[in-house]
Chain A
Amino acid sequence: MKLIVAIIRPDRLNEVLEALYRTEVRGLTVSRVLGHGGETEHVETYRGTTVKMELQEKVRLEIGVSEPFVTVTINAILGSARTGEVGDGKIFVLDVAQVFRIRTGERNEAAVTPALAALA
């Protein structure tokens, strides 16, 4: 099991979600975050007050996956989040000690396998 944490551009979120959906990766957490990845800051002006926006809006995805899904998930994000310009983001892959599904108490692999029975 791995926890995949991806920091991406907010305007690529729809594309990334589509790509993940196509690779049948279900179950993820999305948060809006502020960050800086070395890109040039954009400048905003409010009636004489000029500011450089040092921190950019980013989106953080957290996806718990079983081993067979690690590579496809990473490829889906790499393919869909890239614009080719500085500031596209990062993907971190973390080892996970244990996972529990709260509803059933299932552990580890079973806990990150989509509960298809529940959908039917």
Chain B
Amino acid sequence: MTTLPLLALQTAAPPPAIVPADTAWMLTSTALVLLMTPALAFFYGGLVRNKNSLNTMMMSFVALGVVGVTWAVAAYSLAFSDGGPFLGSLTNFGLNGVGLEAKGTIPHVLFMAYQATFAIITAALISGAVVERMRFGPYVAFIALWTLFVYAPVAHWVWGGGWLMTRGALDFAGGPVVHINAGVSALVAALVLGSRKDYGRTAVLPHNVPFVLLGAGLLWFGWFGFNGGSALAANELAGLAFTNTFLAPAATLVVWTLLDYFRTGKATAVGGATGIVVGLVAITPAAGFVSPASALILGAVAALPSYFVISLRSRTRIDDSLDVFAGHGIGGLTGALLTGVLAQKVWNSAGNDGLLFGNPHQLAIQALACLSAAVYAGIMTFVILKVLGLVMALRAVPRIEGVGMDVSQHGEEAYASGEGSILVPPEAALVPEPLPAFTPQVASR
């Protein structure tokens, strides 16, 4: 059965044909991007308090399952099958018609899987705005609905043949689609949920800064698949996007560290990790459209808006706890707009020239893409959360919030010592005589 499409491909000499090199790179890229979600779990998990660290990490991990399934069943079809300018159709519902045939130069199933990893991390990004207070169940429901009603349509507009794609908006790997989309949704979610009970009253500090650095490092690693893979082939364009993904965050890290140093007198680790992520976000829409020199400039410039929005945000009552809006919304906006400034056709003939290279119109198209993604994501996130709020409580009551989300939502602790715990025997005690291990015993102290 599986040989049939292959035979068909061999007999049908003209393209589209599957290119093995492209397929190999996209297999690798898919695995790289999937790793970004566990990486995000560490990045976010390190930034919250001990008592909420597992819950925060689970908010990323659960997206691997929930968004992965939502994507395969319906969201992929809504995003990438032929449809109208605003939404795809249900042609590929339930992966119907997603087979071994070529999509570009790679198998269609692989294209679907690669795009799934984008949907997963985009939804998980939002969790940073609602950590330490949002209940787990409503969160899971939210990201499933958000994938269907926000991510899939916006992906269709820009990548799936929708209205922004036909107008020539340039978004190489997900400025408006991933980062502005998630960043604005995060801001709205933080406002709908309200701030944590301790926010603005006591210092809420990262419980594990090494986790934050580990997460940032793994995110960078995975991002080579995110941007390099968005060429959808193992070609020059992938090489350009890959190199820019190395250069831009390097420049952002330098500038961020200097800003840190001149404002506080210290180069901070959490600041450095944040700078890397902001640089990665900013180069994402531009990666395959700008020269490596432009990538350095873009990365350096991108540090400024996000840095100052983080400083300003923390003085407000808006508890976007892990600064998803400042990092991803503002970082994505900066990158998408600078794409319209720095893009060059000599580096990517499928792209276009930007403002600096004689095409100011491109900047206007970029702004339109950013604005429409931001407005749509904001409104839809508000609606989804308000509707969910009618049927279930979105956030934990203050007492549970005080106890912590790890014990209350998951019945586990990140750093359990076992002191004072008593083993509970399995309820179906069909074995007549209890084994010694099942008899209650206080763990040694």
Contact = CB atoms under 8 A, between A and B. Distances in A.
Given A11-B403, A14-B201, A51 B423 contact: yes
Given A12-B402, A18-B201, A43-B411, A54 B416 contact: no
Contact of A45 (B399, B411, B442): B411
Contacts of A41: 422
Nearest to B417: A34
A52 B422 contact: yes
A14 B398 CA distance: 13
Interface in B407-437: 407, 411-413, 416, 418-424, 426
Interface in A41-63: 41-46, 49-56
B349 interface: no
B202 interface: yes
A83 interface: yes
A85 B198 CA distance: 21
Contacts of B402: 9, 11-12
Contacts of A36: 420
B175 interface: no
Contacts of A46: 412, 416
B422 A54 contact: yes
Contact of B407 (A18, A42, A51): A42
Contacts of B421: 44, 51-55
Interface residues of A, number: 23
Contact of B423 (A18, A49, A55): A49
Interface string A70-84: 000000000000010
Q: Is the interface of B mostly helix, strand, loop or mixed?
A: loop
A49 B422 CA distance: 10
Contacts of A18: 201-202
Nearest to B406: A44
Contact of B424 (A52, A55, A85): A52
B429 to A, nearest CB: 13
Nearest to B400: A11
B407 A14 contact: no
A42 B399 contact: no
Contacts of B198: 14
Contact of B420 (A9, A11, A49, A55): A55
B421 to A, nearest CB: 4
Contacts of B202: 14, 18
Given A14-B198, A55-B419, A42 B424 contact: no
Interface string B371-408: 00000000000000000000000000001001110010
A44 B420 contact: no
Interface string A14-30: 10001000000000000
B399 A83 contact: yes
A46 B424 CA distance: 12
Contacts of B407: 42, 44
A53 B413 CA distance: 11
Kindly name the residue among B198, B413, B424 whose own CB sees the greatest number of chain A CB atoms within 10 A: B424
B204 to A, nearest CB: 10
Contacts of A9: 402
A83 to B, nearest CB: 6
Contacts of B424: 43, 50-52
B419 A44 contact: no
A75 B121 CA distance: 49
Contacts of A44: 407, 411-413, 416, 421
Nearest to A56: B420
Nearest to A18: B201
Given A11-B402, A11-B403, A53 B420 contact: yes
Contacts of B423: 49-51
A51 B399 contact: no
A18 B413 CA distance: 27
B399 A34 contact: no
A119 B201 CA distance: 24
Nearest to A49: B423
A51 B438 CA distance: 11
Kindly name the residue among B198, B402, B442 whose own CB sees the greatest number of chain A CB atoms within 10 A: B402
B201 A45 contact: no
A22 B416 CA distance: 34
Contacts of B442: 54
A18 B198 CA distance: 12
Given A14-B202, A36-B420, A45 B412 contact: yes
Interface of A: 9, 11-12, 14, 18, 34, 36, 41-46, 49-56, 83, 85
14 contacts: A9-B402, A11-B399, A11-B402, A12-B402, A14-B198, A36-B420, A41-B422, A43-B424, A44-B407, A46-B416, A50-B423, A52-B421, A56-B420, A85-B399
Given A49-B423, A56-B420, 19 more contacts: A11-B402, A11-B404, A12-B402, A14-B198, A14-B202, A18-B201, A18-B202, A36-B420, A42-B407, A43-B424, A44-B411, A44-B416, A45-B412, A50-B424, A51-B421, A52-B421, A53-B420, A54-B421, A55-B419
6 A-B pairs closest in CB distance:
A55-B420, A11-B402, A51-B421, A50-B424, A14-B202, A52-B422
